[in-house]
Amino acid sequence: MKREYFDTEKDGFYGAYFKNPKTSSKGVILMFGDKIDDLMVKMGVKWLHRNGCNVLTMASDTKDYAYHDYPIESYEKAIAVLKDKGNVRFGVFGASTTGMMALAAASFIPDITLTVALSPSDFIMEGFYRDGLDGARERPGDHESTLSYRGESLPYLPYAYRHPEYWQKLSEEAKRRGDMAAARDMFDLSEQRCPLTEEMKIKVERIKGDLVLIGAQDDSLWDTCRYIDRMTERIKAAPHTCRVAKLTYEYGSHFVFPQSMLETVLPFGSSFLLRFTFRTLKEHPQTCKQTRIDIDRRLRKIIQGWR
């Protein structure tokens, strides 16, 4: 796929623009993980292309998968590029940590009128590093938020553990649950030790246009359905203009990607390969697949109707 790269020093963000082969005026900022053009990102780009969107991928320009004080201004500068490319509608699409970041960005930037968040939290998380310090795969930030705005760290929920206990506890939980990764116990404990304040919560009622919140109850990274419930209740209780689509399921794991998105890179055996990531995908493969199929159908319809 043809792409145009952008550099933080020169352009204000690290990313790549993938123009849709077909003419489109819809531009979506896609953040999946820590890369701007790997297999997982291309999976999302191809799916969004098929659904009539141009795509600008973004990520942290750190060498490791790390988000600490990532500037929301990066989204603003990316939207300026999308405008220069002829786009007139702007969306954000994220999953997991970047799902939370997509919500936060949309709450600050009214130009964004489509927000898709897979397995998000409703609060700003503490920043984190994956630099291998002391052999730990991941560690908390040095009292940093995941996000900043205008040079100021956004208030965040601090993790219940510090380095090196943080990675030790996450490893123990993943092993006990039989999952590739798990942190649900830690996030529950984090809220017990430091109850959420209003400053830590994402102001989802400020989001414009279509807001899509997707999650599964069996998520082992965090209790995303509880977070999604809190967001929808918050929106109901406040003046708002967004149209909320709440897509929550009993089974689906942390990987609630649309089925046809996975099949763009894994046309055969995607369901089989996923079983090696989370235990629930092994124990309930058909139910999880039906979740992804339903998400696919409903999300495509929302994007087609995006105005």
pLDDT number for residue 266:
65
For residues 51 and 303, the answer to whether their CB atoms sit within 8 Å is yes
pLDDT number for residue 50:
97
Mean pLDDT of the chain: 95
pLDDT number for residue 109:
98
| Tokens encoding 34 | 């820590």
- pTM given for the model: 0.96
Reported as a pLDDT band with limits 50, 70 and 90, residue 66 is: confident
Q: Return the half-sphere exposure (C-beta side, CA atoms, 13 A cut-off) of residue 39.
A: 5
Give 83-139 pLDDT, tens digit per residue.
999 999 999 999 999 999 999 999 999 999 999 999 999 999 999 999 999 999 999
- Highest mean pLDDT (candidates 64-68, 266-270, 274-278, 298-302): 298-302
Whether the per-residue pLDDT at 272 is higher than 80: the answer is no
pLDDT number for residue 271:
61
Pick the CATH number of 4-304 from 1.10.8.50, 3.40.50.1820, 3.40.50.720, 2.60.40.790: 3.40.50.1820
Reported as a pLDDT band with limits 50, 70 and 90, residue 24 is: very high
% of the chain exceeding 90 in pLDDT: 91
Give the list of residues 6+ apart from residue 58 with CB closer than 8 angstroms, or none. 13, 14, 15, 29, 30, 31, 36, 74, 75, 78
| Tokens encoding 196 | 């959420």
- Highest mean pLDDT (candidates 34-38, 48-52, 268-272): 48-52
pLDDT number for residue 142:
86
147-160: average pLDDT = 97
Whether the per-residue pLDDT at 72 is higher than 70: the answer is yes
Give 208-240 pLDDT, tens digit per residue.
999 999 999 999 999 999 999 999 999 999 999
CB count within 10 Å of CB 213 equals 27
Reported as a pLDDT band with limits 50, 70 and 90, residue 250 is: very high
Angular region, 209: left φ>0, alpha ψ -120 to 50, beta rest: left
Whether the per-residue pLDDT at 267 is higher than 60: the answer is no
